[in-house]
Amino acid sequence: MSEPRNSNNSGSTAPSPGVVRDVQEANAQYLLPAERQIPKGYKQTEVGVIPEDWVCTTVGQLVSDSVLEKPLDGNHGNIHPKSGDFVSFGIPFVMANNVHDGVVDLSSCAFIRKEQADSLQKGFARQGDVLLTHKATIGNTAVVGELQFDYIMLTPQVTYYRVADEARLSNYYLRHFFDSNTFQSVLQLMSGGGTRAYIGITAQLSLPVTLPATKAEQEAIAEALSDADALIEALEQLVAKKRQLKLGAMQELLTGKRRLPGFSEEWEIKLLGEIGESIIGLTYSPNDVRADGVLVLRSSNVQEGALSFQDNVYVELEISERIMVRAGDILICVRNGSRDLIGKCAKIDDKCKGMTFGAFMSVFRTPFHNFVFHQFQSNVIKRQINEHLGATINQITNKSLNSFQIPFPKDETEQTAIAQILSDMDAEITELETNLTKARAVKQGMMQQLLTGKIRLV
């Protein structure tokens, strides 16, 4: 099989020396000191160490060698379809946000009339094409799957890469390589980064590609990484399904529409202020912040209904015991620049002893916290939050919180039973999310090993 020529001899298609140097430095963070030595059977290239029988080339060289067709994006200027051209069904009009996780999400994209699409000049992507987002949202990839249309139409934010010689290049290998640290480092450097990031078609010809010499090895790598993608997708779908099941259970159990066996006592409507109290958090200034001290829980410490400690702030102040958190407190975001974050909450546990909470947060303190915490996650509370939000300031006051009404079982054992069922569902979701995080980490490790040839499958 003939090989694509090495980019060392490709003239203007090679990445610039400055980009190469920056990429080599960026990629060095992924290597242990011992790995920075070139082992036998490997060679140093512009973008890293690869096996001697692999090829380091560029997109432009692959085009010159007729391995790839020239990459193309969507239509620019006046002929670019506008929002007024969108119809309920027709040819999918794929934007950058429709390209993610290796697939093209046609369920959320706009459509244009086929007659209009046929009249356009370029951007006709078809099954098997590799897509790469190159404007604002940089570096998302996908392979166009089976289509019920002749083609899909791309915006100027998305480039398609079409394999011209399938005997020499696997489209799925190319897509996984585009996801690699090596490629993404170059892409981000050449696109400028930030919200105005952009890399045009001509510049994309200089992007590097490292290739196993044989199609069989490319396909083996692509298959291993696609299997990892399939596991991740299955876990994501399972997490989503379990979340929907929990939402349904909350709607039934927290309103009394569905009663657990053995319970028949009437429920009542309670004001939150009747069963507990809402307490506003600590006011502090930037001058009070220290590298260590008392941890102040803020909105960023609440993620997916649980506590997170990835972004912490510490202060050195005398703090009232009343606003030191206690196990069972329900921590709630009550003021935020984003309206959607108001009401997100987490339950305080014993590990939070000695912490306080910021003035944009409140805690609701009640002896019935196990049951009430789940009510805070329910539509019953969310609906009242939306009703009480200020017109100009995204906040809910303690007075509003205390006035919220919830369905409330008189029998505490029924409260406990409902809370236990919902907590068990939370625990199952958390375990699945942990497995999902591990699966993603494993895939990242596989990519680093397989796409650099450190591990050979053929």
Q: Is 263 exposed, middle or buried (0-12, 13-18, 19+ CB in 10 A)?
A: middle
Mark whether 205 and 277 lie in a shared domain: no
Mark whether 186 and 312 lie in a shared domain: no
Confidence of residue 124 (pLDDT cuts 50, 70, 90): very high
Cα 413 from chain centre: 40
What confidence score (pLDDT) does residue 17 get? Answer: 53
Per DSSP bridges, beta strands 356-357 and 294-297 are parallel
Where a domain ends, among 377, 394, 410? 410
Q: Is residue 422 part of a domain?
A: no
The DSSP string of 203-261 is HHTT-EEEE-SSHHHHHHHHHHHHHHHHHHHHHHHHHHHHHHHHHHHHHHHTTTSSPPT
Task: Find the mean pLDDT for residues 394-399.
Answer: 91
Q: Is residue 436 part of a domain?
A: no
Where a domain ends, among 373, 390, 410? 410
Task: Tell me the CATH number at 380.
Answer: 3.90.220.20
Q: Is residue 244 part of a domain?
A: no
Task: Find the mean pLDDT for residues 4-16.
Answer: 47
pLDDT at 108 over 90: no
Mark whether 36 and 178 lie in a shared domain: yes
Task: Find the mean pLDDT for residues 247-252.
Answer: 96
Q: Is residue 206 part of a domain?
A: yes
Q: What is the DSSP letter of 374?
A: H
- As a whole number of Å, the CA-based R_g of the chain is 28
Mark whether 296 and 171 lie in a shared domain: no
Give the total number of structural domains in the chain.
2
Q: Is residue 245 part of a domain?
A: no
Mark whether 195 and 280 lie in a shared domain: no
Confidence of residue 101 (pLDDT cuts 50, 70, 90): confident
In what helix (H) or strand (E) does residue 332 lie, and over which residues does it extend? strand 330-333
* Closest by CA position to 297, among listed 327, 320, 331: 331
Confidence of residue 144 (pLDDT cuts 50, 70, 90): very high
Mark whether 138 and 283 lie in a shared domain: no
Cα 402 from chain centre: 35
pLDDT at 77 over 90: no
pLDDT at 310 over 70: yes
Mark whether 313 and 399 lie in a shared domain: yes
Q: Are 129 and 74 in contact (CB under 8 A)?
A: no
Reported as a single tens digit per residue, the pLDDT across 187-211 is 999 998 666 889 999 999 999 999 9
Mark whether 92 and 191 lie in a shared domain: yes
Place of tokens 């053995």: 262
In what helix (H) or strand (E) does residue 172 lie, and over which residues does it extend? helix 171-178
| Average model confidence (pLDDT) across the chain | 91
Confidence of residue 11 (pLDDT cuts 50, 70, 90): very low
Mark whether 208 and 271 lie in a shared domain: no
Q: Is residue 339 part of a domain?
A: yes
Confidence of residue 396 (pLDDT cuts 50, 70, 90): very high
Confidence of residue 8 (pLDDT cuts 50, 70, 90): very low
Mark whether 179 and 300 lie in a shared domain: no
Q: What percent of the chain has pLDDT over 70?
A: 91
Q: Is residue 253 part of a domain?
A: no
Mark whether 197 and 339 lie in a shared domain: no
- CA geometry: angle at 207 spanning 203 and 210, to 5°? 165
* Closest by CA position to 140, among listed 175, 108, 92, 190: 175
Please state the pTM of the whole predicted model.
Answer: 0.82
What is the CB neighbour count within 10 angstroms for residue 382? 14
Reported as a single tens digit per residue, the pLDDT across 13-66 is 455 555 555 555 555 554 545 556 788 999 999 888 999 999 999 999 999 999
Where a domain ends, among 195, 213, 231? 213
What confidence score (pLDDT) does residue 292 get? Answer: 93
Reported as a single tens digit per residue, the pLDDT across 350-384 is 999 999 999 999 999 999 999 999 999 999 999 99
Q: Is residue 458 part of a domain?
A: no
Reported as a single tens digit per residue, the pLDDT across 151-183 is 999 999 999 999 999 999 999 999 999 999 999
Helix/strand/coil for 69:
coil
What confidence score (pLDDT) does residue 9 get? Answer: 40
**Structural domain boundaries, residue 318:** 266-410
Can you tell me the distance from the alpha carbon of 372 to that of 225, in angstroms, rounded to the nearest whole number?
44
Task: Find the mean pLDDT for residues 219-233.
Answer: 96
Can you tell me the distance from the alpha carbon of 228 to that of 73, in angstroms, rounded to the nearest whole number?
29
Mark whether 209 and 273 lie in a shared domain: no
